[in-house]
Amino acid sequence: MAPGDHLAYFWESERDFEDAVGFVAAGAGQRETCILLGFDEANARVEAGLKRARLDPTALRREGRLHFVSGKHSGDTLLEEVGDRVKAAVDRGEPFVRIFGNLGWGRPGWPNDRELLRLEARVTDSIRNLPTVVMCAYDVRGIAARNLLQGGLECHPLTFRRNVVRPNEHYVPAEPFLAALDRELA
């Protein structure tokens, strides 16, 4: 992966999720800033995984290298908060920021599906020129098919499955994706 990459990680077992936590643990172990954009239970699971990797989440947070961003009332607010955290890290001279997303599809306190689709569509352009990689985790066992198809496949230029990162032929750039989304709801 390279700075500016935005990829979808499709998982279906606890082992798969634990492997995804390795993305965060690797960054934390290299003194990178890590941002967990997720619902509380997912963030807690990542935090527990960091402990199993012999990393101290409390110390990482105290050092300003681990941040938690949870549900807000709009996708714009979430994107703005993550952007502020990335900017703060870059301003401190951090060489790289990893963002691990576990969006709260259908969860209380989270934006509705349409807002989350709009958020996913805008992430690629938002990070393109930043020292940032965003990996969005999709639990294929429980997410609605429409959100998996549109959010997971159509909003990510890269996919990660079975330890292989691949260019995503289903990716739709933000402008045409958002225009089609607006037409669907008109």
The domains of the chain, with CATH numbers, are 6-184 (3.40.50.300)
pLDDT > 90: what percent of the chain?
Answer: 82
pLDDT beyond 80 at 45: yes
Q: Which of 118, 84, 116, 80 lies closest to 101 in space, CA to CA?
A: 116
Q: What is the mean pLDDT of the chain?
A: 93
- Residue 16 to residue 70: CA distance in whole angstroms: 22
Pairing state between β 97-102 and 158-161:
unpaired
Please tell me the pTM assigned to this model. 0.94
Choose between 72 and 3: higher pLDDT: 3
The pLDDT-based confidence of 136 (bands split at 50, 70, 90) is very high
| Res 1: pLDDT | 79
Q: Which amino acid is at 115?
A: E
The pLDDT-based confidence of 71 (bands split at 50, 70, 90) is confident
The pLDDT-based confidence of 163 (bands split at 50, 70, 90) is confident
The pLDDT-based confidence of 51 (bands split at 50, 70, 90) is very high
Q: What is the mean pLDDT of residues 50-58?
A: 95
Q: Residues 6 or more apart from 26 whose CB is under 8 A from it?
A: none
pLDDT > 70: what percent of the chain?
Answer: 99
The pLDDT-based confidence of 186 (bands split at 50, 70, 90) is low
